[in-house]
């Protein structure tokens, strides 16, 4: 069986042959993606700065959980899924996709979801998972799935998402969006022409952009700016394997999970109430002893303290106040970043 390390090497070699599903975010400059970094990758430039452990762990996590997610999707939907080799677009050979799984066609799905479907398997941390459940998939995942449909030519796909800590799971079907696919094809074509012509995209404007801070090309792309900063003190964690502490931390984890879930659910219910109220400004729900008022408020005021510090440093120093120091308990995953 192919190991995660071998798969990663093959995946890196294959991705230089064209634009794959996981590249679309970078082509569009969405979320974690940067067109310049993608250009450097596609033109075979070796990264000059180490990737963070976290990004490698996430790749391994996604690869290891994929069969489990596909299996769960199959069990929960009753739809059969199969592995399949990567696919290349017929009319645009530089458009490619690694299909997580093909969903075999099923007459039970009706005419809207005819033919085979494209399954995109994702694993997501609690916060991201509840965000997806409350507000739908983020743009870069939508682009990724529609890219997959553009390459395969299939009419529909589905997301299957697992939250690995509580094993909560969600899945839903998505139809092919011809207008979005046209945009994806156009933007990817422009990008691929630039790759072939050696026309490197501009740097992102702000080096403080988190994409730059974690980029494998940050040394050559940002030169001196990327030189390692002063070394931070290495924190020592003293082991505490007492039963009492184990129970307390377990309780905190459980409560954190329920609070996040309850908050996500609360958001959904509030949105449902607003939709149900329609044009009505105020309603009385006597069964629950509550009055609901849907009123417009002016936007929250905020200060650009960064600009104030830079442009008016004296004024900022004069009026800035710092409260008394207080202690706060922070909790990180064992392999997580605690900075
Ligand atoms: S350092 Fe920033 S601008 Fe340069 S390639 Fe990386 S993400 Fe893009």
- Specify if 262 maps to a domain: yes
pLDDT tens across 98-129, in order? 999 999 999 888 888 999 999 999 999 888 89
**Sheet of 117-123: strands edge to edge?**
81-82, 101-103, 117-123, 156-163, 168-175
207 and 85 both lie in a single domain: yes
Provide the pLDDT for residue 333: 85
pLDDT tens across 15-44, in order? 788 999 989 999 998 877 899 999 999 988
- Specify if 137 maps to a domain: yes
> Which structural domain range is residue 68 located in?
4-226
Look up the CATH number of the domain holding residue 216.
Answer: 3.90.320.10
217 and 276 both lie in a single domain: no
- Specify if 213 maps to a domain: yes
**Residue identifier of the C-alpha nearest atom 2 of ligand 1:** 212
Cβ(203) – ligand 1 distance below 6 Å: yes
* Look-up of token digits 């931070």: 232
Cβ(194) – ligand 1 distance below 6 Å: no
The rounded Å distance from CA 145 to ligand 1 centre is 25
120 and 198 both lie in a single domain: yes
The rounded Å distance from CA 54 to ligand 1 centre is 18
The rounded Å distance from CA 209 to ligand 1 centre is 9
- Specify if 232 maps to a domain: no
156 and 251 both lie in a single domain: no
102 and 178 both lie in a single domain: yes
Going by pLDDT thresholds of 50, 70 and 90, the confidence category of residue 223 is confident
Tell me which residue of 264, 22, 245, 56 sits closest to 163, measured CA to CA: 264
Give the span between the Cα atoms of 66 and 100, in whole angstroms: 8
Cβ(28) – ligand 1 distance below 6 Å: no
Going by pLDDT thresholds of 50, 70 and 90, the confidence category of residue 291 is very high
- Specify if 320 maps to a domain: no
What one-character DSSP code corresponds to residue 336? Answer: S
Tell me which residue of 185, 163, 165, 166 sits closest to 176, measured CA to CA: 185
Provide the pLDDT for residue 104: 96
Tokens of 124: 């997501």
Tokens of 115: 């033919």
185 and 150 both lie in a single domain: yes
Domain boundary among 174, 200, 226: 226
284 and 252 both lie in a single domain: yes
181 and 251 both lie in a single domain: no
What is the pTM (predicted TM-score) of this model?
A: 0.67
> What angle do helix axes 178-197 and 139-152 make, rounded to 10 degrees?
90
- Specify if 326 maps to a domain: no
- Specify if 282 maps to a domain: yes
Residue 55: is its pLDDT beyond 60? no
Provide the pLDDT for residue 95: 96
Give the span between the Cα atoms of 208 and 153, in whole angstroms: 39
128 and 266 both lie in a single domain: no
The rounded Å distance from CA 208 to ligand 1 centre is 10
250 and 214 both lie in a single domain: no
65 and 208 both lie in a single domain: yes
As for how many domains the chain has, the answer is 2
16 and 140 both lie in a single domain: yes
């Amino acid at each position: 069986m192919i190991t995660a390390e071998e798969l990663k090497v093959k995946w890196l070699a294959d991705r230089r042959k064209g634009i794959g599903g996981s590249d679309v975010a970078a082509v569009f400059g969405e979320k974690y993606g940067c067109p310049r970094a993608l250009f450097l990758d596609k033109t075979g430039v070796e990264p000059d700065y180490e990737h963070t452990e976290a990004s490698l762990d996430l790749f391994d996590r996604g690869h290891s959980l994929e069969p489990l997610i596909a299996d769960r999707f199959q069990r929960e939907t009753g739809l059969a899924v199969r592995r399949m080799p990567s696919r290349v677009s017929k009319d645009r050979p530089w458009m490619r996709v690694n299909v997580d799984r093909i969903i075999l066609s099923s007459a039970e799905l009706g005419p809207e979801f005819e033919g085979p479907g494209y399954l995109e398997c994702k694993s997501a941390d609690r916060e991201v998972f509840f965000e997806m459940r409350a507000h739908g998939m983020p743009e870069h995942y939508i682009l990724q799935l529609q890219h997959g449909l553009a390459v395969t030519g299939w009419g529909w796909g589905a997301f299957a998402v697992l939250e690995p800590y509580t094993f909560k799971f969600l899945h839903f079907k998505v139809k092919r969006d011809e207008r979005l696919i046209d945009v994806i094809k156009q933007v990817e074509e422009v990008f691929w022409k630039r790759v072939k012509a050696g026309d490197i995209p501009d740097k992102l404007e702000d080096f403080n952009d988190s994409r730059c801070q974690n980029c494998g090309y940050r040394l050559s792309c940002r030169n001196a700016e990327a030189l390692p900063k002063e070394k931070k003190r290495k924190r020592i964690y003293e082991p505490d394997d007492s039963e009492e502490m184990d129970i307390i931390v377990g309780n905190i984890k459980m409560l954190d999970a329920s609070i996040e879930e309850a908050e996500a659910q609360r958001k959904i219910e509030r949105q449902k109430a607003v939709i149900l109220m329609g044009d009505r400004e105020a309603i009385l729900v006597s069964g629950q002893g509550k009055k609901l008022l849907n009123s417009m408020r002016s936007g929250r005021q905020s200060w650009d303290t960064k600009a104030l510090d830079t442009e008016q440093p004296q004024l900022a120093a004069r009026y800035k106040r710092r409260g008394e120091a207080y202690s706060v308990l922070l909790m990180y995953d064992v392999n997580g970043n605690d900075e």
